[in-house]
Amino acid sequence: MPEKILIVDDDVDSLKLIGLMLSRNGYEVSAAHSGSQALAKAEAESPNLIILDVMMPDMNGLEVCRRLRANAATQKIPIIMFTAKTLIDDKIKGFEAGADDYLTKPTHPQELASRVKAILQRSAAKQEPMPSSGGQRNTTIGVIGSKGGVGTTTIAVNIAAALMEMGENPVVADFRPGQSGLAVMLGLIRTQSMYRLMTAQLSDITTKNVENSLATHASGLRALTSSTNPRESLARFNEEAAAAIINQLRFIAKPSVIDLGSGYNTLNVRLLSEIDKLLLVVEPNALSLISARDLLKVMDEEGHGSRTSIVILSRAPSSIQTSWQEVEHTLGREIKAIISAAPELAFQAIEAKSPIVLLQPNSIVAGQLKKLAESLKTRIRQIGN
């Protein structure tokens, strides 16, 4: 049975054009001319996807999107917002209302087909039946840096440790063979297993094999680590194997915290589709902000922006820092957390091979990291529901 797509637009010509594009790609198309009609059809027909115009006279698309997300019968239907507006603030409003992706008019037929296919595939993956073992698919949190050296590993390790202290059962995983900081930070340099898994056959990436590859820190925190052997970074990794590792971690960890390193390399492009919540780590300086702005632009275009929050790791003297207001203005979105500079404590943590939140739980920076973890724990519950 073909997947059904509900198109919502008060412009009849737009309805016909988009409907024709989608029909040619084998989809069943349904149409609504107003926001109220869209709400009724969405509940009655349960489409696989809704393409929703923003500018409509009776009820704008943002309000329609909010109501769809508030209705238990329609809240999980993926939504692509469609509008002539191109400002980043307009996109942010769409994502905040609950949209999964955002397209501007006019759009090329191939771009529309590609976005629709990607959204439907992600939606189908979330609805896949659980394995025969009866395990539960849990949340994944990705941590990516705007550039190298901004502290992604520090954030990832401490988030995982803080969540463990809050009663969760996390795993922190490093997907950077040959460039690992995680194994060194936790004193697990003899237990690296990521390279072996990422070069394995897909059939060998089972829940049991991934679980057997985990190392356990003295605190009880579990980790899947890469090595510091530079030759391993030259290997050609199976990107689908890496994605399969994340999907197996969903049945092992609650949640999985994924250290993605920095930048938009081919591996990260594939793994971002497997991430439920993404943290972009930025330093408040011009170079880091420019890198972050360009990275966010690409992630918005690829449909990952709505899952991305900004974390500022402030390690430079305040006199040369960019203000948080300017950071929000430059990046076009709200800052999720600001982590203070604590170079001496960070050094002590590496020497002690312990996360900061466990080594000095009453420090200011530990409190900031715990607050970030607490907000993520709330988000994990929302995603799980």
Residue 131, pLDDT score: 45
Residue 79, pLDDT score: 92
Confirm whether 210 is domain-assigned.
yes
Q: State whether 274 and 146 are in the same domain.
A: yes
Q: State whether 110 and 225 are in the same domain.
A: no
Residue 199, pLDDT score: 85
Confirm whether 217 is domain-assigned.
yes
Confirm whether 135 is domain-assigned.
no
Tell me how many domains the chain contains.
2
pTM of the model: 0.62
Give the CATH number for residue 41.
3.40.50.2300
Confirm whether 132 is domain-assigned.
no
Residue 134, pLDDT score: 45
Q: State whether 255 and 347 are in the same domain.
A: yes
Q: State whether 259 and 295 are in the same domain.
A: yes
Q: State whether 164 and 243 are in the same domain.
A: yes
Residue 45, pLDDT score: 92
Q: State whether 224 and 119 are in the same domain.
A: no
Residue 319, pLDDT score: 46
Residue 192, pLDDT score: 66
User: Which residue range forms the structural domain that includes residue 211?
Assistant: 140-384
Confirm whether 170 is domain-assigned.
yes
Q: Which residues, in sequence order, are CB contacts of 110 under 8 Å at separation 6+?
A: none
Instruction: Tell me the average confidence (pLDDT) per consecutive run of 10 residues in the chain, 385 residues long.
Output: 89 88 90 92 93 89 91 90 69 77 79 83 59 64 86 93 94 86 85 81 88 92 88 77 92 93 85 90 86 88 81 63 74 84 88 94 93 84 57
Q: State whether 73 and 112 are in the same domain.
A: yes
Residue 51, pLDDT score: 93
Cα R_g (the chain), whole angstroms: 22
Q: State whether 217 and 360 are in the same domain.
A: yes
Give the CATH number for residue 241.
3.40.50.300
Residue 315, pLDDT score: 60
Q: Which of 126, 150, 182 is the last residue of a domain?
A: 126
